[in-house]
Amino acid sequence: MGAQEKAKAKAEQTKGKLKENTGRSVGNERMTAEGRAEKSQGSLRDAKEKAKSSVRKVGDALKKD
């Protein structure tokens, strides 16, 4: 599940970046803003997955002790 979520986050970031750059190229402020929002959403999803992974690692380390 974690790998799928990480891939989804990276795809969302990439899609947002592409949309932002396209909007900027054609002078469409709305598309640029939507791209930034999608990129941010992907970054948040990525940060969430990294935090979950860190918590799992700490939990695993505590179980061993």
pLDDT digits (tens, 9 = 90+) for 15-45: 999 999 999 999 999 999 999 999 999 999 9
State the pLDDT at residue 2. 78
pTM of the model: 0.77
Mean pLDDT of the chain, nearest integer? 92
Per-residue pLDDT for 60 more than 60? yes
**Cα dihedral 41→42→47→53 (10° resolution):** 130
* CA atoms 52, 3, 46, 44: torsion sign: negative
Tell me the average pLDDT across 42-62. Answer: 91
3-class DSSP state of 4 = helix
